[in-house]
Amino acid sequence: MTRKILRNVGVPILSFVLLLLVWQWIVVGFHVASYIAPRPRQAFLAVTQNWSALWPLILGTIRETVYGFFVGAALGLSLGVIMAKVPVLQRIVYPVLVLSQAVPIIALAAPLVLILGFSVTPKVVIVAWIVFFPVTVNVLDGLTHVDKDLLNLARVYGASRWRTFIHIEIPATATPLFSGLKIGATYAVTGAIIGELAASDGASLALYQEHANANLNTAAVYGTTMVMTAIGITWFLLVVGVEVFATPWQRRTVARRWRRR
Amino acid sequence: MTLLELRDVAKTFGDTIALSPTSLAIEEGSFVAIVGPSGCGKSTMFNVIAGLLTPDGGDVLVKGERVNGTTGHVGYMLQKDLLVPWRTVEDNITMAKRLTGRVSAADREEARAVARQYGLGDFLRHYPTALSGGMRQRVAFMRTLVTHQTLLLLDEPFGALDAQTRLEMQQWLLQVWRDTGRTVLFITHDVDESIFLSDRVIVMSPRPGRVVADFANPLPRPRTVDTLIEPAFIDLKTKVMRLLHREDA
Ligand SMILES: Nc1ncnc2c1ncn2[C@@H]1O[C@H](COP(=O)(O)OP(=O)(O)O)[C@@H](O)[C@H]1O
Ligand SMILES: [Mg+2]
């Protein structure tokens, strides 16, 4: 058990520390000018010393990321299910979905501002736009590959379509669903930041970084990037946590005692 | 009493006659083996009986009632165990109830009792991935048993097991069959298995799939490993093999 914790938590922390060391080593070793790249410590300080100004902006980005993620995940799941169940719709809708992902996301921001203004909504739409696609593709793939013999067995028992869906098809799709959610989670922050860049009139994390850049405050530029990355990683880890909790059979041989039904 | 009757049941896929008109009557409580080479329509016959396929002609009658193309009147088990990895052994056994209604406390107690009685009591909370092939097939069979169907269709259930495990499973199956008094239709392409288990051996041949012989099995029960070398066993095996080989030539 302790070995497992060491491997699952210790190793990622170690690789993170290693990354900082490499950063430090490059900046110091190659005499990189501080207006091009700060040392890790300076970037950290740029964040902590301006924490009170940054925190509301961070909350804003988190809100856009999380809202957009949930909208995208719900939309992605629904579309995947609908397309799997209605093959005609699949043939009609699938090309449109592929098209939606071919649109450069930056080019999407301008019309969204025209339509939705500078509120939180255009950012949520952009995040959802990015998140739904891997979810849909994975759910559709999962649902269409459920073992036909298993579905036949359910029919032999006299199961209704609804119960077969709930007790067979959905759990059988858990693994691809979470693959899609994890891909979505990693890209969600990117969507939020793109949205902030294109559709912010007031304060936002993306604009904060732009200002820092304009003021040649390199440490703050790097520090903000670190903050954005941290939001993305945290969200990804939360999704992984939910997966671990929701799919115990993936890593356990015996069910926990309290798991009943 | 006749539990299952097929009257001129036939099934065609496009140009392929999977099953040419077949008539058959199965006595309640009997153990009937069906042997035949791969592709002779054995699984098709089961799918028609189970109601997964609607016959092109003829009738399927269970307890005298016509059941063509309807499901819910047989227990059914394949070579693939079809256990779901996200449920424990206990929850896999109660699967049919979950798919058709509520799993009651009594259902769970029954699942646990069956598992304990037939040697899986220590694995109730295990996920299927932790189980060996033989154990998984036993769970699949228990899942079939607790549906309380009198008619069980077993389609090469031990086909994927190694010889040693297969022999153990055959004896285990006979024990469960004796205890529970179900009616078993058992598909296999293993002639020894068909004779060792059954009261009756039905031989099928391919293209077009049809029944070519129906032997009463005279071997006394209980059957043991010694059964496999009795003269009556060899005698019946010879007859069945001749039929299967004539079809090969
Ligand atoms: N769904 C299907 N569509 C088309 N042909 C099928 C289908 N199912 C079975 N067949 C054909 O019917 C014949 C009998 O198949 P099957 O009943 O599976 O044989 P067995 O179980 O004896 O090996 C085979 O020639 C097979 O290719
Ligand atoms: Mg078959």
B178-196 pLDDT per residue, tens: 999 999 999 998 999 999 9
Q: Which H/E stretch holds residue B66?
A: strand B65-66
**Same domain for B25 and B60?**
yes
Bridge-partner residues for B216, per DSSP? B200
Q: Is B234 part of the contact surface with chain A (CB cutoff 8 Å)?
A: no
Residue A8 pLDDT: 76
Rounded to the nearest integer, the mean pLDDT of chain A is: 91
C-alpha pair distances (Å), A24 with each of A44, A123, A208, A228, B12 = 12, 34, 24, 20, 74
| Residue A137 confidence (pLDDT) | 96
Query: Quick check: A247 contacting B, CB < 8 Å?
Result: yes
Cα gap B248→B40, rounded to integer Å: 12
Q: Are residues A118 and A166 in the same domain?
A: yes
Task: Examine the domain organization and report whether A125 and A243 are in the same domain.
Answer: yes
- Give the tokens for residue A42: 């300076």
Q: Is the pLDDT of residue B249 over 60?
A: no
Q: Are B185 and B162 part of one and the same domain?
A: yes
- Rounded to whole angstroms, the Cα distance separating A247 from B85 reads 10
B81 CB burial (10 A radius; 0-12, 13-18, 19+): buried
Find tokens 């008109």 and name the residue: B21
Question: CB of A127 within 8 A of CB of A188?
Answer: yes
* B236 and B163, same domain (yes or no): yes
Residue B236 has pLDDT above 70, yes or no: yes
CATH code of the domain containing A162: 1.10.3720.10
Kindly identify the ligand whose nearest atom is closest to the C-alpha of B36: 1
Which among B82, B95, B99 has the least Cβ separation from residue A149? B82
- Give the gap in angstroms from C-alpha B219 to the nearest C-alpha of chain A: 33
Residues near B144 by beta carbon (within 8 Å), at least 6 away in sequence? B75, B76, B77, B152, B154
The verdict on residue A55 lying in a domain is yes
Q: How far apart are CA A253 and CA B130, in angstroms?
A: 6
Q: Do B202 and B224 sit in the same domain of this protein?
A: yes
Q: Is residue A84 within 8 Å of A146, Cβ to Cβ?
A: no
Predicted local distance difference test score (pLDDT) of residue A62? 96
* Calpha distance A32→A29 (Å, rounded): 8
Do B160 and B241 fall within a single domain? yes
Chain A hits for B109, CB-CB cut-off 8 Å, are: none
Look at residues B148, B171, B193 and tell me which one is the last residue of a structural domain.
B148
In this structure, the residues whose C-beta lies within 6 A of any atom of ligand 1 are B 13, 16, 18, 36, 38-44, 209
CA–CA–CA angle A102, A127, A114 (5° rounding): 80
Rounded to an integer, what distance in angstroms lies between the CA atom of residue B240 and that of residue B36?
9
Give the C-alpha separation, A144 to B145, whole Å.
Answer: 30
Indicate the number of domains in chain B: 2
Give the distance from residue B69's alpha carbon to the nearest chain A alpha carbon, in angstroms.
Answer: 11
Q: pLDDT at position B143, please? A: 96
Q: Which range, A72-76, B11-15, B145-149, has the best average confidence (pLDDT)?
A: A72-76
Name the closest ligand to CA B44: 1
In a domain, A38, yes or no: no
Cα separation, A236 vs A238, in Å, equals 5
Do A206 and A152 have their domain in common?
yes
B7 DSSP β-pair partners: B59
Do residue A76 and residue A192 come from a single domain?
A: yes
Q: Decide if A257 and B125 are in contact by the 8 Å CB cutoff.
A: yes
Say which residues have a Cβ less than 8 Å from residue A127's Cβ, sequence separation at least 6: A64, A65, A67, A68, A69, A71, A72, A188, A191, A192, A195
Which residue ranges in chain A fall short of pLDDT 70?
1-2, 258-261
Same domain, A18 and A130: no
Q: Which domain holds residue B128?
A: 83-148
CB contacts < 8 A, A to B, total: 74
Q: pLDDT tens for residues B63-105? A: 999 999 999 999 999 989 999 999 999 999 999 999 999 999 9
How many other C-beta atoms lie within 10 A of the C-beta of residue B83? 23
Q: What is the pLDDT of residue A113?
A: 85
- Residue whose CA is closest, atom 17 of ligand 1? B41
Same domain, A86 and A19: no
Contact B120, B142 (CB under 8 A): yes
Q: What is the pLDDT of residues B210-234, one digit of tens each?
A: 899 999 999 999 998 889 899 999 9
Reduced to 3 states (helix: H, G, I; strand: E, B; else coil), residue B40 is coil
Q: Please tell me the distance between residue B56's alpha carbon and the centre of ligand 1 in angstroms.
A: 14
Determine contact, residues A153/B76, Cβ cutoff 8 Å. Answer: yes
The pLDDT of residue A30 is: 92
Q: How many domains is chain A built from? A: 2
Is B131's Cβ below 8 Å from some Cβ in A?
no
Q: What's the mean pLDDT in B154-162?
A: 93
CATH of the domain at B57: 3.40.50.300
Whether the per-residue pLDDT at B247 is higher than 70: the answer is no
| Nearest partner of B143 among A143, B135, A253, judged by Cα | B135
- Chosen from B43, B67, B84, B87 to mutate, greatest number of chain A CBs within 10 A: B84
Report the pLDDT value the prediction gives residue A105, as an integer from 0 to 100.
87
Q: Give the whole-angstrom CA distance, residue A201 versus residue A133.
A: 29
Interface probe for B, chosen from A156, A250, A257, A258 (most Cβ of B below 10 Å), is: A156
Indicate if B181 and B100 belong to the same structural domain.
Answer: no
Parent domain of A12: 1-32
Tell me what pLDDT residue B248 has. Answer: 53
Q: Is B92 within 8 Å of B84 (Cβ atoms)?
A: yes
pLDDT at B208: 83
In a domain, A256, yes or no: no
Domain boundary among B108, B127, B148: B148
Using the 3D structure, point to which of B148, B163, B189 is the last residue of a domain.
Answer: B148
What gap in Å lies between CA B72 and CA A156, rounded to an integer?
5
Q: With contacts defined as CB-CB under 8 Å, which chain B residues touch A156?
A: 50-52, 71-72, 74, 76
> What is the model's pLDDT at position A247?
94
* Residues with Cβ within 8 Å of residue B238, at least 6 apart in sequence: none
Q: What is the ipTM of this complex?
A: 0.91
**Contacting A residues, span 135-154, partner chain B, CB-CB under 8 Å:** 147, 149-150, 152-154
